[in-house]
Amino acid sequence: MRKDSYKVMVRAALLLALTLLFQWSRFLLPVPPVFSTLVTGTLVNACLAIAVELVGLSPTAVISIIAPVVAYTQGMLPLPVFIIPIALANFLYIVVLRTGIHWNRLLAIGTAAIVKSAVLYLVFAWLLTLININPKVAAGVLFIMSWPQLFTAIAGGSIALVVVKRIKYLI
Number of structural domains, the chain?
1
Asked if residues 57 and 164 have their Cβ atoms less than 8 Å apart, the reply is no
Domain that holds residue 153: 3-170
pTM of the model: 0.93
CATH number at residue 64: 1.10.1760.20
User: pLDDT tens string for the chain (171 positions)?
Assistant: 576 888 899 999 999 999 999 999 888 877 787 888 899 999 999 999 999 999 999 999 999 999 999 999 998 888 999 999 999 999 999 999 999 988 899 999 999 999 999 999 999 999 999 998 899 989 988 999 999 999 999 999 999 999 998 887 776
